[in-house]
Amino acid sequence: MGGKAFLIVQHLEWEGPGQHLLAALQEAGVGYRILEAWHKPVPTPVDFAGLMVLGGSPNVDEEQQFPYLLPLKAAIREVLVRGQAYLGFCLGHQLLAHVLGCRVGPLPKKSVGFVTGELTPEGLAHPLFQGFPAHPRLFKWHGQGVLPPLPPGIKILARSAAAPVEALGLAGNPRVVGLQFDNHVGPADVEKWLQADAAWALSGSGAEPAAVMATAKEVEAEMGREFRIFMHNFLRLALS
């Protein structure tokens, strides 16, 4: 597809862009630059095709503990004003929602591992989810989420029993979307996360590491295929 590169914002050393995301970008011939936001300045997004923001440990309101959140939020606002593309995963989804005026806070229970989601009628009609299953398998790693009701003009595109807002989008702007789930990762990524973040992930979530890894390997091809469909849709719109 060519053109400008995307800026991918990474919050933690061990939680980078996953196997399926990197493969989708490579297959599409789309460039990217990874920003290690915890120790590098956040650049203006004007020189990039758009912004992709990954997940991480901070909560959206922890600017004192994580000062880079302030310039990152400013960059997200700039992307929205300029009409550029935005794709957020987990914390990236929550930061988008926060900037748009949604409430973000603790969910009743941590969601770690695989769940079944559901596209809403708005999600089924959304161009980014064309060809995506109506009840997709979602990989989750979070304790907070976006809390309904959402402000006018923001649509819930997917939901699950684990989170009321699994995906959100803007009315009239399909190039901006937030995903609470991390379907960009593959088994090697999941294994790394379990090693690096087990103390948090396994406390109060009910997740069993062996079961999570077994499922990750079992569904690798299926989730990779579905994520590539989503990314093809996103990149086509983002770069048009």
- Per-residue pLDDT tens digits for 120-163: 999 999 999 999 999 999 999 999 999 999 999 999 999 999 99
- Per-residue pLDDT tens digits for 166-198: 999 999 899 999 999 999 999 999 999 999 999
CATH number of 6-238: 3.40.50.880
* Paired residues of 9 in beta bridges: 35, 53
Distance between CA atoms of residues 72 and 52, nearest Å:
11
With beta carbons less than 8 A apart as the criterion, state whether 111 and 205 touch.
yes
Query: Which one-letter DSSP state was computed for residue 12?
Result: S
Residue with tokens 């992930």: 201
In the chain, what are the domain boundaries?
A: 6-238
- Per-residue pLDDT tens digits for 1-30: 556 899 999 999 999 999 999 999 999 999
What is the pLDDT averaged over residues 54-75? 97
Q: Which helix (H) or strand (E) holds 126?
A: none
* Token pair in block for residue 123: 């999600």
Q: How many CB atoms within 10 Å of residue 26?
A: 11
With beta carbons less than 8 A apart as the criterion, state whether 165 and 138 touch.
no
Distance between CA atoms of residues 76 and 72, nearest Å:
6
Q: Which amino acid is at 50?
A: G
Longest pairwise C-alpha distance within the chain: 45
**Burial degree of 88 (CB within 10 A; 0-12, 13-18, 19+):** buried
* Token pair in block for residue 51: 């912004």
